Amino acid sequence: MAFGSFDSKGPGTTMSEINMVPLIDVMLVLLVIFIITAPLLSHSIRINVPQVTAQPVEQKPVVIDLAIDPSGALFWNEQPIAEDELPARFAAEAGADPQPEVRIRADVETRYGLLAQIMGAARQAGMKRLGFVTTPGQPAPGAAQADPAAEGAAPAVQAPAAPPAASGG
């Protein structure tokens, strides 16, 4: 708001200062309200909660390890299996509770088409948990290695790694 002043500057000048008194009053009212309501917010109701001594149920996750070697042979939990048996096995496992997780360990040289067929058969059977096992920390096969010492040399290519060993679980 602009107020007139009683200075000798003339009748047309206005005061251009912010009046802080109303702001301080509002702040003090809010402070009093918070001081009064803060103890009321920490009030709790005492209830007697039942005591139990039951042990939690430990359920080990069920995992199906499906390995594919470079020639395309399939292994279901380290046991050889024919490709035409997969849909029946997937259908039998899809009805289990909890549903197992299918972990596919494929060789680097495995055809993409075979992997797509296996994933499609698992989805058609109703498998919801599907994953791939990879070896961490290694660059992708065929990726060029940057070596600042050999600028004019051809890029080095890493040989494909062997598939990881199966877990004992």
Q: What is the mean pLDDT of residues 74-100?
A: 90
* CA angle (102 as vertex; 100, 62 as ends), nearest 5: 30
Cis? peptide before 11, omega within 30° of 0: no
pTM comes to: 0.48
Given a cut of 50, is residue 31 above it in pLDDT? Answer: yes
Q: What is the mean pLDDT of the chain?
A: 78
Please tell me the distance from the alpha carbon of residue 108 to that of residue 48, in angstroms, as a whole number.
60
65 Cα distance to chain centroid: 22
Q: Which residue segments constitute the domains of the chain, with CATH numbers given?
A: 3-39 (no CATH), 63-132 (3.30.420.270)
Q: Give residue-wise pLDDT tens across range 97-153.
A: 888 999 999 988 888 898 899 999 999 999 989 998 887 766 666 655 544 444 444
Given a cut of 80, is residue 5 above it in pLDDT? Answer: no
pLDDT given at position 168: 47
Most confident stretch, 8-12, 14-18, 84-88, 131-135? 84-88
